[in-house]
């Protein structure tokens, strides 16, 4: 299968918008949170650390460090030691809870190393990838997609995007296929590394589940079209704000359950009214 046939031309007849999967997801989820995250300066007051985010970061950092080691040292015992080296207690209820989850994280990465082939060097770890994208034939690129992929492997003549997960629920194939982030990383990795990329995988470290999906040119194009539409809305709102537009009209809050654990809850009255604040450790897997 040939890599997706998008025109990566250099002409830019209209203003280019740089977007990352995180920026697009934030704007779609809550425009006000996008504004507070990326536009407001100085940055509004945030909550403190969240334990589930701390846990996820530790596991990501430990696995990244593991693949930086020579193959002979990529063993379960070293993976556990790397969890201890990268561990932080931020967001946990107390030291006892932090110690329990530190032990869990050690067991997770040890089992991951036992059950998966870690002898092959990835072509990218926390690799920055970027690509200008053109969706309309004969026109210049309308956006630049960029971001940092957890891991990029090469299998045969193609690349594979791998994203680590540590949440409560194991993902499935539908989640891997519907992930805009993975699809955009696949397109950007293919451009950056000049190698076809269609396979995307979610590796749920707590359960060992690997949810995989194989994209086609058509499915990648659907993700790109959605990204282009969101980027257009984002660009228009930002330009109008810079021209003196009303920030609350252009970047409205979208109150919901997520307001309970939003980082900007202290600075958002609508979020505070949506429901009670979550405790920093409430989103940890039981």
Rounded percentage of the chain residues whose pLDDT exceeds 70: 95
pLDDT of residue 16: 80
Instruction: Report the DSSP beta bridge partners of residue 98.
Output: none
Mean pLDDT estimate for the chain: 93
Is the model's pLDDT at 65 over the cut of 80?
A: yes
Apex 109 CA angle, 58 and 281, nearest 5: 45
Tokens of 164: 């680590």
Q: Which of 30, 33, 58 is nearest to 46 (CA)?
A: 33
CA distances from 89 to 84, 95, 280, 286 (A): 11, 7, 11, 17
Span 74-85, mean pLDDT? 98
Span 208-233, mean pLDDT? 96
pLDDT tier at 230 (50, 70, 90 boundaries)? Answer: very high
pLDDT in tens, 95-112: 999 999 999 999 999 999
Q: Is 10 exposed, middle or buried (0-12, 13-18, 19+ CB in 10 A)?
A: exposed
Tell me yes or no: is domain 121-231 CATH 3.90.320.10.
yes
pLDDT of residue 78: 98
Report domain extents, the chain.
48-115, 121-231
pLDDT in tens, 155-188: 999 999 999 999 999 999 999 999 999 999 999 9
For the ranges 20-29, 87-96, 136-145, 261-270, the lowest mean pLDDT is seen at 136-145
pLDDT of residue 6: 54
Q: Which of 136, 147, 6, 148 is nearest to 64 (CA)?
A: 148
pLDDT of residue 1: 44
Is the model's pLDDT at 8 over the cut of 80?
A: no
């Amino acid at each position: 299968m040939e890599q997706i046939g998008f025109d990566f031309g250099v002409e830019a007849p209209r203003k280019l918008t740089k977007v990352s999967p995180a920026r697009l997801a934030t704007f779609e989820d809550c425009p006000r949170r996008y504004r507070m995250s990326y536009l407001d300066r100085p940055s509004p007051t945030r909550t403190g650390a969240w334990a589930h985010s701390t846990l996820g970061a530790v596991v990501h950092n430990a696995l990244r460090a593991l693949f930086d080691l020579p193959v002979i040292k990529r063993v379960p015992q070293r993976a556990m030691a790397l969890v201890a080296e990268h561990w932080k207690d931020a967001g946990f209820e107390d030291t006892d809870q932090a110690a329990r989850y530190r032990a869990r994280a050690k067991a997770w990465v040890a089992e991951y190393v036992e059950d998966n082939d870690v002898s092959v060097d990835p072509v990218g770890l926390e690799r920055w990838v970027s690509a200008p994208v053109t969706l309309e034939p004969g026109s210049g690129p309308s956006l630049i997609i960029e971001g940092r992929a957890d891991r990029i492997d090469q299998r045969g003549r193609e690349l594979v995007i791998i994203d680590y997960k540590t949440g409560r629920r194991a993902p499935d194939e539908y989640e891997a296929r519907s992930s805009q982030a993975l699809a955009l990383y696949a397109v950007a990795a293919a451009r950056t590394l000049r190698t076809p990329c269609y396979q995307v995988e979610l590796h749920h470290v707590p359960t060992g589940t690997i949810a995989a999906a194989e994209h086609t040119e058509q499915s990648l194009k659907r993700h790109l079209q959605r990204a282009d539409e969101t980027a257009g809305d984002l660009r228009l709102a930002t330009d109008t704000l810079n021209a003196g537009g009303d920030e609350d009209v252009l970047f409205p809050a979208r109150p919901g359950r997520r307001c309970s654990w939003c980082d900007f809850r202290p600075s958002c009255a609508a979020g505070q009214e949506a429901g009670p604040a979550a405790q920093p450790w409430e989103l940890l897997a039981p």
